[in-house]
Amino acid sequence: MTRERIGIFGGTFNPVHSGHIRAAEEVRKKAGLDRILFVPSFIPPHKKTVSIAEPHHRLKMVELALENYPHLTVSSIEIDAGGKSYSIITLGKIKERHPGARLFFILGIDAFLDIETWKEYERLLDSCYFIVMSRPGNELSEGENVLGGKYEGRMLKIAEDMSITEEMCDQFSIFLLSIDALNISSTEIRQKSQRGESISGLVPEPVESHIKKNGLYLKPQKKEKMTEKKSSKFSFQYLPREVQISIQAAQDKKSEDLTVLDLRRLTSFTDYFIITHGRSSRQNAAITDHIEAELKKENIRPLHIEGRERGEWILMDYGFFIVHIFSSQARDYYSLEKLWRDAARMNC
């Protein structure tokens, strides 16, 4: 009996476009995949994108785009997990859910040429099959030289009239597949939207409506006007788990007026601030201890903690997020929320 073949198609999908769908459908047919999971990432770890739509919008757009494709489905696995999205982790989770299946990681040649920058890429390459698709801008044959040609022996170029057989799967693990790719990129769509140009034909119609209705990818001033305060808010469920645990722990100790600032677009030194205050330095110490203990249970430890002794302004630095626990006077005095007035925020 042949094993079920599942494709995993990861990306930022900011937004998903007709090039993605065309590519997935063609790969599915040529590689004999039973289905393909589109997996939008939560935070792309090696992207410097500034105008990245919120995860729930990107997820929704993929869902809308795939409505009429029964073999293509969206998976929220990375968005649910929050934090940085790493393919090696995602693959492990998908493997657990589909123990008998052959898993094929699908990506364009442009992405494959960057594989060296991926977390544990060698383990990833050893853990599943890869299908590398052609895409305008790069020659598919460039793939053979990836990592100094180290993987060339495991690669097979699939000719037009060939399909991927079970025997091939025993012998090779990276398949280079030439497809009739559309010359479309999400970057082009974002740029056109910003300039007020039409994107029709580049994305499926329901995706186009979603972008318009929600004012995604507009120039910043326009966006503010259109979405007013709405765009500057976000909800708990899309925060990384570590941030959620900290919020919960602070609230367990009755911390007051807790605010989360999303700083990802504004600075590179951290992604989130959690700001709160207690009524006494004793309470502040208790909040700090409890957050530290709850995160420790998950094996997450702070880089450092400052100000615990005085309790006026305790700073817990966890790298991609920082917790500030103030006395109420110090909070007013330092006014971090005003200082970072452009940050999207959530008040708990």
Binding site residues, ligand ATP, CB under 6 A: 11-14, 19-20, 23, 107-108, 110-111, 133, 135, 181-182, 184-187
Shorter beta-carbon distance to ligand ATP: residue 194 or 248: 194
Rg (CA), the chain: 23
The structure tokens listed for 295 are: 């995160």
Instruction: Give me the sign of the Cα torsion angle 162, 165, 167, 170.
Output: positive
Nearer to ligand ATP, 58 or 290 (CB): 58
Whose tokens are 């420790």? That residue is 296
In the complex, least distance from residue 71 CB atom to ligand ATP, rounded to whole angstroms: 17
DSSP per-residue codes, 159-215? PTT----HHHHHH-SEEEE--------HHHHHHHHHTT---BTTB-HHHHHHHHHHT
Minimum gap (Å) between residue 316 Cβ and ligand ATP: 34
- Based on CB atoms, which residue is closest to ligand ATP, 80 or 188? 188
**Residue 45 Cβ vs ligand ATP, minimum distance, rounded to whole Å:** 13
Q: Measure Cα distances from 69 to 77, 81, 180, 188, 202 in Å.
A: 20, 26, 18, 24, 17
What H or E segment, with its residue span, contains residue 225?
Answer: helix 220-227
- Minimum distance between the CB of residue 121 and ligand ATP, rounded to whole angstroms? 14
CB of 179 to ligand ATP, least distance (A): 7
57: tokens are 């919008």
Q: What is the 3-state secondary structure (H, E, C) of 71-140?
A: CEEECCHHHHHCCECCHHHHHHHHHHHCCCCEEEEEEEHHHHCCHHHCCCHHHHHHHCEEEEECECCECH
Contact predicate 169/102, CB 8 Å: yes
Q: How far is the CB of 181 from ligand ATP (least distance, A)?
A: 4
Q: Which is nearer to ligand ATP, 151 or 313 (CB)?
A: 151
| Shortest distance, position 207 Cβ to ligand ATP, whole Å | 13
Comparing CB distances to ligand ATP, the nearer of 25 and 289 is: 25
Give min distance, CB of 193 to ligand ATP, in A: 12
Tell me the residue number closest to ligand ATP, measured at CB. Answer: 108
Give phi and psi for 220, each to the nearest 5: -50, -45
Residue closer to ligand ATP by CB (options 203, 322) is: 203
Q: How many CA atoms lie within 13 A of 198 on its CB side?
A: 4
Query: Which is nearer to ligand ATP, 12 or 327 (by Cβ)?
Result: 12
Give whichever of 181 and 218 is closer to ligand ATP, judged by the CB atom.
181
